[in-house]
Amino acid sequence: MNNFNFYNPVKILFGKGKIAELSKNIPADAKILMTYGGGSIHKNGVYEQVKTALKGFNVVEFGGIEPNPHYETLMKAVEVVKAEKIDFLLAVGGGSVLDGTKFIAAAALYEGESAWDIAAKQLTVSKALPLGAVLTLAATGSEMNSGGVITREATQEKFAFGSPVLFPKFSVLDPQITFSLPQRQVANGIVDAFVHVIEQYLTYPVNSPVQDRFAEGILLTLIEEGPKASTAETPDYETRANLMWAATMALNGLLSTGVKTDWATHMIGHELTALHGIDHAVTLAIVLPGVMRLMKDKRREKLLQYASRVWNITEGTDEQKIETAIQQTESFFRQVGISTLLSEHQVGQDTINQIVERFTQRKMRAVGAQQDVSIADVGELLKTRL
């Protein structure tokens, strides 16, 4: 196991009716900016629940944060924060609203020239407005971590940012809130959480049995519960609760303690979203089988562990076991309703060339924390996903 630091001060309020506890967790004299997305919270009753819980607080609203939140939109929220002298942000939404709100929290106190540099130049964020969250979609893990990803519409660039000052003070996770989600978003969440785990698990062994078994435990839960959520006529509380907790635990820093992480699939996927607006989770489902196959020799040991412990594959040669595990992974994505090929999104070789070109222009020699997926590899593996 490698040396590591771990710190996660987010208070989780999990379960039925937990929105009612909001008022106990926000300073009584706070002036709150309540941020949200396209307005689904007006249809599913979440807006009313939150407003009721915030009775007596001074609340300003900022809606319209889009999926893959745009820098341009978020800077409008920053203007509101400054004009209204906001001192607490409450994100009500999924990963995009949370990520966007973290960026607003940092940008509102940023003193440099362009707040875009926080993401583009990976600046150290040392101060931010406090924020809390009411999660409406189990997926990104943003509710219990200190990072985010934003997109600049003007340049079609998508970058990650993060800082310990961006941990939410609290996150409310009421699985009932996810009942009204469109099937597509539920499926996206399952795949997103699954690939988050894979990115912190499927590289090289470092003798980390606790972390490995935690990762496998989350993957097994997603494999068992995911299809139930995707096919149920009416949402089941327990299924949704287990998916929500699995997604939160998938990216709160615990799985990555002391191990070798990857994130190659995410880095490649981000480009597909930036260029074609494909849902984040779908890009991961497209890219991951390609990464797995390309790395089947280098990452053999961990792939065999994955095949055995997660998919219970005991038959065949090592090569066959790994191939079966990759096929099962792709089948699982398709089973929950997520497409896994570029051609299903009318994306062809020209985009692959464009992505390789972009990485090359950024003077990158490889993607991922292990730097074992070269830019040439990116082109090769994407070809297998056409």
Question: Residues interacting with its own copies, by CB under 8 A?
Answer: 1-18, 207-214, 216-218, 220-221, 224-225, 238, 241-242, 245-246, 249, 254, 257-258
d(CA 343, CA 45): 38
Q: Which is nearer to its own copies, 16 or 42 (CB)?
A: 16
State the nearest-atom distance from the C-beta of 330 to its own copies, in Å: 23
State the nearest-atom distance from the C-beta of 325 to its own copies, in Å: 19
State the nearest-atom distance from the C-beta of 175 to its own copies, in Å: 8
State the nearest-atom distance from the C-beta of 207 to its own copies, in Å: 5
> Mind giving me the DSSP string for 83-121?
HHT--EEEEEESHHHHHHHHHHHHHHT--SS-TTHHHHT
d(CA 110, CA 167): 17
Q: Which is nearer to its own copies, 153 or 224 (CB)?
A: 224
d(CA 228, CA 295): 31
Query: CB pairs under 8 A, 24+ apart, for 232-236?
Result: 235/178, 235/179
Q: Which is nearer to its own copies, 225 or 279 (CB)?
A: 225
State the nearest-atom distance from the C-beta of 254 to its own copies, in Å: 8
Answer positive or negative: Cα dihedral of 123, 72, 104, 180: negative
What kind and span of H or E run contains 160? strand 157-162
Q: Which is nearer to its own copies, 204 or 245 (CB)?
A: 245
Cα angle 153, 346, 72; round to 5: 5
- Beta strand spans in 218-314 (E): none
Q: Which phi and psi (to 5°) does residue 312 adopt? A: 55, 35
Q: Which is nearer to its own copies, 117 or 238 (CB)?
A: 238
Phi/psi zone of residue 15: left (φ > 0), alpha (ψ -120 to 50 degrees), beta? left
d(CA 263, CA 60): 37
State the nearest-atom distance from the C-beta of 234 to its own copies, in Å: 17
Q: Which is nearer to its own copies, 112 or 205 (CB)?
A: 205
State the nearest-atom distance from the C-beta of 294 to its own copies, in Å: 29
d(CA 156, CA 164): 27
10 Å Cβ neighbour count for 145?
23
Answer positive or negative: Cα dihedral of 82, 84, 89, 92: negative
Q: Which is nearer to its own copies, 145 or 221 (CB)?
A: 221
State the nearest-atom distance from the C-beta of 12 to its own copies, in Å: 4
State the nearest-atom distance from the C-beta of 238 to its own copies, in Å: 5
Q: Which phi and psi (to 5°) does residue 81 adopt? A: -55, -45
Which residues does residue 89 pair with via DSSP β-bridges, in sequence order? Answer: 33, 131
